[in-house]
Copies of this chain bind each other. A is one copy, B any other.
Amino acid sequence: MTHPRYTALAQTLPASVPFVGPEAQERSRGAPFDARLGANENGFGPAPKVLEAIKAHAHEAWMYGEPESHDLRSALAVHHGIGIENIVIGEGIDGLLNYIVRLIIGDGDAVVTSDGAYPTFNYHVAGFGGALHKIPYKGDYEDPEALLAKAHEVGAKLVYLSNPDNPMGTTLAPSLIENMADNLPEGCLLVLDEAYIEFAEPDAVPNLPIEHIGVIRMRTFSKGYGLAGMRVGYAMGAAALIRSFEKIRNHFGMNRLAQIAALAALGDQAGLQDIQNKVAASKVQITEIAEANGLTCVPSSTNFVTIDCGKDGDFARRVLGDLIAQGVFVRMPFVAPQDRCIRVSCGPDAEIARFAEALPKALVQASKG
């Protein structure tokens, strides 16, 4: 008998972290990073009005967050032209992925995702005993036809797709995703992770009726709105599906200042536009730096640029390692052949300049093997 008596599943799980945080890397290297460009955080955000709202309401931190997130959901309902009953707020998309997996996945249940897609989704699937089936990317894109075919083959209960994609930054034609949602196996749910959607062209967003029973859409204030540290995500979907979250979610889990910050951010669409403009300019900068070093970039609909280092994964890992040694925090795809790339988040000029300085040195160093 274990002590305490862990579940059979818990006994089999590894103590694993989907991502090592930059602060742990800083402690390990004994110095802070000069540029924090690895976690697709948004160094331009949040907008000034959002910061004002946080400061103005800091004294409310003694009160629990409102458990229904009523005001934020109401504002989101207006923003998206849907009902409040179609929205659930959660502790970031990570928290919402935990909930949706927990509602649907038990021992051995089949789940389909792309090989190299979001590790935290996989972490939750494993954490509830699901069986993951992984489909290779098709070039620099997730492959909806193959994901769909695998879902039918294995009788998947969930299929995960991020669009825009992380870690490659690409978007799929909306019709491909709409087709996927319409042709799922019976009872299968498409988890459409749209964390980066504020950086995509509006006409790249799939048109799916909110009551479509085949899809749940995940959104966040972490990326476009620059509030990763506040942990506010939301899921949009059919009212019956959204209501099921009430069975298991942590009703008092939302940080009150996070609710206030998100509401302020949503209300400041000019602030969002400003951030979007800065991100667009930063993507041009990163692309120019890469090209000046003879490298090519994957087209990006996100706030990061995936740079093809032109050789294999070992080479890219050496580039990454040297950038980190030089104080530039970046990350890279985990799986071949995407691991020939490194992934650089947009950020303020000073940090991009540090990357520009460090990259040629890292390439030289990596070429020495």
Contact = CB atoms under 8 A, between A and B. Distances in A.
Nearest to A18: B251
Contacts of A7: 102-106, 109
Contacts of A228: 61-64, 256
A34 to B, nearest CB: 15
Contact of A54 (B50, B54, B248): B54
Interface string A56-92: 0011111111111010000000000000000000011
Contact of A187 (B1, B10, B62, B94): B1
B248 A10 contact: yes
A274 B231 CA distance: 31
Interface residues of A, number: 89
> Binding site of A, secondary structure by majority: helix, strand, loop or mixed?
loop
A62 B227 contact: yes
A14 B247 contact: yes
B229 A61 contact: yes
A91 B91 CA distance: 9
A158 B3 CA distance: 11
A60 B261 CA distance: 13
Interface in A256-288: 256-258, 261
A248 to B, nearest CB: 5
The 6 closest A-B pairs by CB, nearest first: A229-B256, A15-B246, A4-B189, A13-B247, A5-B187, A21-B67
Given A4-B241, A94-B253, 14 more contacts: A4-B158, A9-B106, A10-B104, A15-B246, A15-B247, A23-B68, A39-B63, A41-B64, A44-B62, A54-B58, A61-B230, A62-B226, A63-B229, A94-B250
6 contacts: A45-B62, A51-B61, A54-B55, A55-B55, A127-B248, A231-B253
